[in-house]
Amino acid sequence: MNLKRVFGVILTVLGIAGLIYAAMLFLNGEGSGKQIKSLAVYGILGGVFFFTGIGLIKGTHDESQPPAR
């Protein structure tokens, strides 16, 4: 397994965790300013990590398999 793919999987899992935590903050929120800021930070970072990880997984060529025809 390629190192870039492993790093992509780690980033994707971290992104999913960040998005889930942002959703939990949103559902349990009271609407205070500090909570809105943390919701935005966790949501944005989770999205960036998730889409970066997916991009690494999709864009990395696996040398262990023969090329598809």
Amino acid type, 58: K
**Mean pLDDT across the chain:** 88
What's the pLDDT score for residue 15? 97
Q: Is the pLDDT of residue 55 over 90?
A: yes
Q: Are 16 and 50 in contact (CB under 8 A)?
A: yes
Q: Please state, in angstroms and rounded to a whole number, the distance separating the CA atoms of residues 69 and 67.
A: 6
> What is the mean pLDDT of the segment spanning 27-53?
90
What's the pLDDT score for residue 50? 96
